[in-house]
Amino acid sequence: MIKILTCCFLFTITLFLPALTFAEENAAVLEEVIVTATRYEEKLTIIPANVSVISEGNIKNSTAQNIPDLLRTEIGIYVNDITGNRRTFTVDLGGFGETAPSNTLVLVDGRRINQVDLSGVDWTQIPLERVERIEIIRGGRGSVLYGDNAAGGIINIITKGGERLKAGGDLITGSYSTFSSNAYVSGSPHDLSFRLSGRYYTSDGYRDNSNSEAKDLGLNANYYVKDFMKLLFSSGYHKDNTGLPGALKESDFTAGMSRTETKFPDNFAEVEDYYFQVSPEFYFFDNSVLRIDTSFRRRMFLSFAAGDIGNFSGDSEIETVTLCPRILLRNSLDIAKNDLILGIDYQRSGDHIVNEFISKSSLFDSSTGIFDLKKKNYGYYIHDKINIATINLSGRIRQDRAENTIKTNHPHRIKITEE
């Protein structure tokens, strides 16, 4: 009897052993979450900061149509569509309210996209289909590494890179003649990896003159020049045209207008925005890295709005150039590991604005305002992190200097210097 039970036991174990082994292997292989909270890629488990990550899997399983909709699902982030056209969102990370746009730093692959004219972030410039993950760094400690606009926290949007030869796309249709299509192709021949993606979107909207059309193109490429050098390239192009139906008052409804109608059929906003970023990396010593981020961005914005007292048109062109070299020195000892980061940030932004008001009434004068905004930022920072067994110690310091200059078509010139 004992022999029979022993044979049955061994037979059962033999049947389930492969499954148990497979489950054990799956349990042992956990996905490593890599973040750039210290401006270099590191494991999330050793980052001494409050960092959360929206992974690629989270994005695929989400019903969000854009990045703000995705951020809305995160605890402690308040998102408000202040114009209702899914373009001008306020993303509040830290409870700053009306000042949230100037206290939440938004990055794309480490490149800041907050605008020099303090008009907030245009969330339409990066389509959700291009996003690999989003890193959220809460609290003001990130401002030491990234500079101004980071008092409430940092949102770093990481775009998808190249992989094996692969292509795909999808088509989406919906109500109000909504149509969206996107496609991509990626590959990794020899020492080069790339990903090229494009998107087209159009919709009539539920109101008159709420139509929208957008076109996007993005490219990411990495090339290993030598064993000690890697070249990273990223570029994006966005163009859209959006109708602005404007608000309706209670008196308009009393007069018989429906919620879908508009009093301003000619109001619109047009945007053309593109950037290039080149980042060579040099490897030396014991996994030490020198990286130099350089980027150029140009954004053109044109809008027209009719009103009861007159018509207003705005035309602006922003150019931004950045140069951010930084070095990571890694030193591994018998009982400790030390990572020392030293970096310099330089950014120059210029905004040329032409605003025109044409009055419909003799009570107001027509006018044209021309403004030139210029901002220069210089900053350097040091970040040192020591890991002893399971204890992480870190310290950081930053010095910033900003020069803001405002020139108008009137004989006035204002220069503000901050440190």
SS3 35: strand
154 in the same domain as 118? yes
| Residue pointed to by tokens 């070095």 | 327
Whether 212 maps to a domain, the answer reads no
CATH for 103: 2.170.130.10
Residue pLDDT tens, the chain, 419 long? 444 444 444 444 444 444 433 333 444 444 556 667 778 777 776 666 678 889 889 998 988 888 988 998 888 888 887 666 566 788 888 777 778 778 888 999 989 988 877 777 888 888 889 999 999 988 777 778 888 888 888 899 999 988 889 999 999 999 999 999 999 999 998 899 999 999 999 999 889 998 999 999 999 999 999 889 999 999 999 999 999 888 888 999 999 999 999 999 999 999 999 999 999 999 998 789 999 999 999 999 999 999 888 999 999 999 999 999 999 998 887 788 888 999 999 999 999 999 999 998 877 788 899 999 999 999 999 999 888 877 878 888 999 998 989 888 765 555 555 56
131 in the same domain as 108? yes
Number of neighbouring beta carbons within 10 Å of residue 353: 17
First CA to last CA across the chain, in angstroms? 87
SS (H, E, C) 46-85: HCCCCEEEECHHHHHCCCCCCHHHHHCCCCCEEEEECCCC
Q: How far apart are CA 66 and CA 14, in angstroms?
A: 50
167 forms beta bridges with 185
SS3 34: strand
The string of DSSP letters for 271-313 reads EEEEEEEEEEEEEETTTEEEEEEEEEEEEEEEEEEE-SSEEEE
User: Which domain covers residue 21, as residue numbers?
Assistant: 1-30
The b/e string for 171-180 (b: 16+ C-beta within 10 A; e otherwise) is eeeeeeeeeb
Question: Which of 159, 175, 200 finishes a domain?
Answer: 159
| Residue pointed to by tokens 């209670």 | 250
48 in the same domain as 25? no
266 forms beta bridges with none
155 in the same domain as 50? yes
Whether 15 maps to a domain, the answer reads yes
Question: Which of 141, 159, 177 finishes a domain?
Answer: 159
54 in the same domain as 131? yes
87 in the same domain as 1? no
Whether 148 maps to a domain, the answer reads yes
91 in the same domain as 4? no
Number of domains in the chain: 2
